[in-house]
Amino acid sequence: MRSRIRALALTAACAALAAPLLTAPAQASPAPPRTGFEESDGARWTSQPEEQRLLKTVDKATDRVSVSRIGTTKQDRPVQLVRVGERRTASTVLLVCSQHGDEPSGREACLSTIRDLAYAKDKKTKRFLSRTTLLFVPTANPDGRAANTRGNSDGVDINRDHIALQTAEGRALAAVIRDREPDAIYDLHEYGATPKYYDKDLFDLWPRNLNTYGAVHKEAKALSLDYVRPAAEADGYTTGTYGIWTDPATGEPVKQVAGDGQERILRNASGLKHAAGLLIESRVDPLTDAEKNDEALNNRRRVHSQVSALGGLFSYADEHRWRLEAASTASRLAGLRDRGPVYLGGADNDPAEPAEVIADPACGYRLTPQQFADVKDELGLHGVTVKRDDGGVLVPLRQPARALVPLLLDERAPYHLVTGQPDIDC
């Protein structure tokens, strides 16, 4: 018996020695890592340690992916950015996954998609990733995800913080948008249904804020109507416009319950920052008996519908690359022309009241040294440039971030940071 074991051990040792010589690349590439959601077939969400293991493995496995820390939450969790791409590209798409911690499907879709893109060998994906860089924030609200809450650990809704920038999470996103200048920003959420009136598998919505540059607005709508919805529908999912109830018999709009133009929501802030923004929401609630009887099945529908829509986003990013970039560039240049009204309210489906329009804006806003000290960091994160002179600080409108300036500094703007003094003699 003993000699047999020894003989077996010897054979194994020989095989181990010989292997590198005889069969050229002896190490079979390890199987791509799976998410906790996949491991459990949708019975539970991927834990944060599992997420870290997956990202570490993927980061190590290929140059196509790199993971970096862009912020740290109050409870000391990392806010991470995952870059996926073959090389430096002009075209960049940012995906913000689960800003709301209790809406986990977007995060799951992002994690499995990062992994799939990292290991993809097909020509089409390789070519896509050689022309477009994808930036994922796979868990945009790590403390909220840990506690399964909408807000962060202070109870602040990160998706209402894209003007004030009071949260570490909102600040981290603003810095990425300023530094990487994404041409499109895709924001993944989930929603609660009102059956019959408001219960599609997916709803999406573009920036409704009236300051969004026309060509950027058009691109965001094309992303939704020509790509994301058709891709999801081809996979059997129903789609519609976020915030709009429809008559179950006719499909006609009945009323609007969400989805306005307020600038502190990422979808709208994206438009103000020259990116075709799109909010996407998967339905949480089970509607079929099969889904009601099987939570994992319901969860898989939530995640798979998001993955399906991502296919539409990637086709769009590939096919509209030049149009999108041209729109984004034109939007920046429009700010430098410093012409036209700035809107403090309204939406693309709700005209601004006269009091919400600055028809002929001042050339800038003047801040006292104290006011500037109070908002200096936020202006910097928004990418707003300022001019200093002996009277204090002037924030000119003539800059790419033109429309943002009054929204941040005019006392009439609903979410202004500080009340600047309009200047007509810059």
Residues that bind Zn ion (CB under 5 A): 100, 103, 189
Q: How far is the CB of 292 from Zn ion (least distance, A)?
A: 23
Spatial distance between the Cα atoms of 192 and 335, rounded to a whole number of angstroms: 38
Distance of closest approach, residue 145 Cβ to Zn ion, in angstroms:
12
Q: Smaller CB distance to Zn ion: residue 100 or 301?
A: 100
Beta partners for 198?
194
**Residue closer to Zn ion (CB basis): 73 or 159:** 159
String of DSSP letters for 99-130: SSTT-THHHHHHHHHHHHHHH--SHHHHHHHH
Question: How many Cα neighbours within 13 Å face the side chain of 141?
Answer: 31
In this complex, which beta carbon is closest to Zn ion, that of residue 79 or of residue 379?
A: 79
Least distance (Å) between residue 187 CB and Zn ion = 8
Nearest to 160 by CA among 267, 70, 271: 267
Minimum distance from residue 281 beta carbon to Zn ion (Å): 7
Q: Closer CB to Zn ion, residue 266 or residue 313?
A: 266
- Rounded to 5 degrees, what angle do the CA atoms 13, 18, 24 make? 135
Considering the complex, what minimum distance in angstroms separates the CB of residue 189 from Zn ion?
A: 3
> In terms of CB distance, is 189 or 200 closer to Zn ion?
189
Beta strand 276-283 pairing with 342-343: unpaired
Select 259 or 361, whichever has its Cβ closest to Zn ion. Answer: 259
Angle at 183 between CA 412 and CA 261, to 5 degrees: 30
Q: What are phi and psi of 284, to 5 degrees?
A: -75, -45
- Nearest residue relative to Zn ion (C-beta): 189
Helix (H) or strand (E) holding 392: strand 392-396
Tell which phi-psi region holds residue 41, choosing left (phi > 0), alpha (psi between -120 and 50) or beta.
left
Q: Residue 7, SS3?
A: helix
69, two tokens: 């820390």
> Can you tell me the distance from the alpha carbon of 108 to that of 53, in angstroms, rounded to the nearest whole number?
14
**Beta carbon of residue 103, minimum distance to Zn ion (angstroms, whole number):** 5
Min. distance of Cβ 239 from Zn ion in angstroms? 17
Min separation Cβ 352 and Zn ion, Å: 26
Closer CB to Zn ion, 189 or 300, in the complex: 189
Which tokens in the block code for residue 299?
Answer: 């969860």
DSSP 8-state assignment for residue 77: P
CB of 200 to Zn ion, least distance (A): 16
- Quick one: 150 or 180, whose CB is closer to Zn ion? 150
**Joined tokens for residue 124:** 């089409």
375 vs 408: CA distance, rounded Å:
10
User: 149 or 421: whose CB is closer to Zn ion?
Assistant: 149
